[in-house]
Amino acid sequence: MKTFNHLLRTAVLTVAFAIVAPSAMAQGLDVPSRNLPVPDSVSPQIQKLIAAPRRAGWDVLPKTGQEWKPVAEAAAAGTLKALPGLIDRMKVRVEKTTFDGVRAFIVTPERVGADNLNRVLIHMHGGCYVLSPGEAGLPEAVMMAGLGGFKVISVDYRMPPEAYFPAALDDGMAAYKHALKTTPAKNIAIFGTSAGGALTLEMVLRAKQLGLPMPAAIAPGTPMSDVTKVGDTFYTNEFVDNVLVSRDGFCDAGAKVYSAGHDMKDPLISPVYGDMSGFPPTILTSGTRDLLLSNTVRVHRKLRQAGIEAVLQVYEGQSHAHYLRDDSAPETREVFAEISGFFSRHMGK
Amino acid sequence: MKTFNHLLRTAVLTVAFAIVAPSAMAQGLDVPSRNLPVPDSVSPQIQKLIAAPRRAGWDVLPKTGQEWKPVAEAAAAGTLKALPGLIDRMKVRVEKTTFDGVRAFIVTPERVGADNLNRVLIHMHGGCYVLSPGEAGLPEAVMMAGLGGFKVISVDYRMPPEAYFPAALDDGMAAYKHALKTTPAKNIAIFGTSAGGALTLEMVLRAKQLGLPMPAAIAPGTPMSDVTKVGDTFYTNEFVDNVLVSRDGFCDAGAKVYSAGHDMKDPLISPVYGDMSGFPPTILTSGTRDLLLSNTVRVHRKLRQAGIEAVLQVYEGQSHAHYLRDDSAPETREVFAEISGFFSRHMGK
């Protein structure tokens, strides 16, 4: 009898073989220029995000941590201006703290969910390993706390020029170890988007290396899981995604500066190449226009091939992390409801 | 406390509101011409499919059932030539039959899985409601029977010029009712790809209308769930998908002929507009280059909004239904392993 596991093992072995086989395919597909209308199949809020022009300065590529600093500060200004309103709408309290030398924010909802009293989430913010320092990294944590009713520790990890690979990962691990002192792993989940999604995966890989217990669940949103330019949507969604725009844009330039010459194929910076056996249940989020859709679905397949419960959510028309842009959009509410529900089903009480 | 269900209900209500709100967005996004390389992140077999030129005659648009007949026969010739080899490799037996006037094939694996002895799958083949008549509709059924160890009834439903909407759906319903005579609904699942994926969804909507019991699970693969040209990847993946190529190509021309003037927004031909409450657990399959990726993810979101267990699988680099093209590809094995596993978890014994 052919069982599911047998079939999946066969698939995994064959894929493993295929990866080492050399590709003889050089030819590509020529695609003509096109105008992409704003779809009717999403809410007006998401339509507005889709209709926005490409990110200004997407092709500005700072080459050092020092060059990134003013870029990051300028990008943070808008976020910081909008943050008080978001905190107010989400009815959360934010406290600045440090533990073991690591900076973080504790985000606590006015009403913690009854099932969530003994649970804590660790949040790793996005920003290509160089953007969203300090409070600018908070919006996703604030939405998760407010919409999900969870207590969230948002890690203000070190970034260039303060520190380089693996500083962000080390700070995330320090936060995880700190949480483990007071909370069992089964009551901890980790989440984040973009670089934060990659860091979420990297933290699980690192926890495995260190023999730490696995968190109950993780939610990597559109993770930068491959910084080596492998992935089909780096090409198909180039100039289609109005946030990242291109693999040859600002975001991978940030990852390159953070890596400081470290091998980009190391699973601790390109986690799609990691061994995902033993991973906790995982919920992944992306969009049909997302430059990192391939980065997301490739992680999904790797997890499934390793026999892990892994759930994929792809939102219509959205570019990279559009779901974090407007807390009034029904799709944003839906993303956080899916993640909260997934966490609740997998976390202890 | 905010619960998952509460949040999801709020999201659903807000989406419902958003759909009736008029869109003020007219501007679109200009995307330059590009060359898309064949990705390294898939097996050599899938690379070969991705490297293939666009389907010959994708822009030939027959306007009547009579005009479709020779096109369908020409397209079927290649499939029929390859079928005996596939049947041999999959170790299945195929018997032609009719019940209540409906033509079908019974596909039985050499070794039915031990858990599958009292289970039956109903297969609705693809082909834009006009292609793959007779044995040409069998490959997907043969692969599911062989790789999953299931007995499969593949419905050779009526198509133009023999009959028009809702003939294909009626024949599918006749097969379902026939199966219900000997097999409890909890031991029946329905699957199909493209038009077959749409018919799978349409059959569940129709079964609800008729008060029939729900099947245990369904697997719509890249369903033609919206034939009204709504869906963002109709635009973003136009000329990127080398199978369907364009919404203004042969496939929707086939659906139009089948509809014979019937309202294309009727959920029985554009099932994404149907009420999906009470649907059985559903596994959906698509690819990042699929013209119907939006058709797929929109159904996924509708099901999730209705509180249904719905699983989405998106395969790297694949155009429309590439996963049916090469039974030696590890990704093909993986697709059928995922669907078989999902069915096994949800079907009675």
DSSP of B284-331:
EEEETT-TTHHHHHHHHHHHHHTT--EEEEEETT--TTGGGS-TTSHH
**CB-based contact, A7 to chain B, within 8 Å:** yes
Q: Which residues in A lie closer than 8 A to residue B23 (C-beta atoms)?
A: 38, 40, 44, 47
Q: CA separation (Å) from A260 to A65, A255, A267, B100?
A: 10, 9, 15, 71
Which pLDDT band holds residue A27 (cuts at 50, 70, 90)?
Answer: confident
**CB-based contact, A20 to chain B, within 8 Å:** no
Q: Is the per-residue pLDDT at B126 higher than 60? A: yes
**CB-based contact, B92 to chain A, within 8 Å:** no
Q: How far A199 CA sits from the closest chain B CA (Å)?
A: 22
Interface mutation vs chain B, best among A1, A4, A112, A346, most B CBs within 10 Å? A4
d(CA A44, CA A49): 9
Q: What is the mean pLDDT of residues A96-109?
A: 96
Spell out the residues 6+ positions from residue B162 whose beta carbon is closer than 8 angstroms to its own. Answer: B65
pLDDT digits (tens, 9 = 90+) for A265-317: 999 999 999 999 999 999 999 999 999 999 999 999 999 999 999 999 999 99
pLDDT digits (tens, 9 = 90+) for B211-224: 999 999 999 999 99
Q: CA separation (Å) from A320 to A54, A222, A226, B187?
A: 12, 7, 15, 41
Query: In chain A, which among 193-252 make CB contacts under 8 A with chain B?
Result: 230-233, 235-240, 242
CATH 3.40.50.1820 fits A41-346, yes or no: yes
pTM reported for the whole predicted model: 0.93
pLDDT digits (tens, 9 = 90+) for A163-219: 999 999 999 999 999 999 999 999 999 999 999 999 999 999 999 999 999 999 999
Which pLDDT band holds residue A244 (cuts at 50, 70, 90)?
Answer: very high
Place of tokens 């694996």: B109
Q: CA separation (Å) from A144 to A89, B14, B68?
A: 12, 19, 53
Contact A238 B34 (CB under 8 A): yes
Lowest mean pLDDT among A69-83, A228-242, A257-271, B12-26: B12-26
Q: CA separation (Å) from B277 to A214, B3, B44, B194, B231?
A: 35, 19, 41, 22, 22
Q: Is the per-residue pLDDT at A62 higher than 80? A: yes
At A324, list the tokens. 């974090």
Q: Of B250, B255, B289, which is closest to residue B270 (Cα–Cα)?
A: B255
Nearest to A298 among B10, B36, B316 (CB): B316
**pLDDT of B26:** 54
Interface mutation vs chain B, best among A334, A338, A344, A347, most B CBs within 10 Å? A334
What are residue A291's DSSP bridge partners? none
**CB-based contact, B20 to chain A, within 8 Å:** no
A173 residue type, one letter = M
What are residue B286's DSSP bridge partners? B314
d(CA B5, CA B311): 18
Determine which helix (DSSP H) or strand (DSSP E) holds A323, and give its type and residue range: none
Contact B338 A304 (CB under 8 A): yes
**CB-based contact, A30 to chain B, within 8 Å:** yes
pLDDT digits (tens, 9 = 90+) for B60-81: 999 999 999 999 999 999 999 9
Q: Is the per-residue pLDDT at A26 higher than 70? A: no
Which pLDDT band holds residue B14 (cuts at 50, 70, 90)?
Answer: very low
State chain A's mean pLDDT as an integer. 93
Q: Of A49, A119, A96, which is closest to residue A317 (Cα–Cα)?
A: A49
Domain ranges, ordered by start, for chain B: 41-346
Which pLDDT band holds residue B27 (cuts at 50, 70, 90)?
Answer: confident
**CB-based contact, A313 to chain B, within 8 Å:** yes
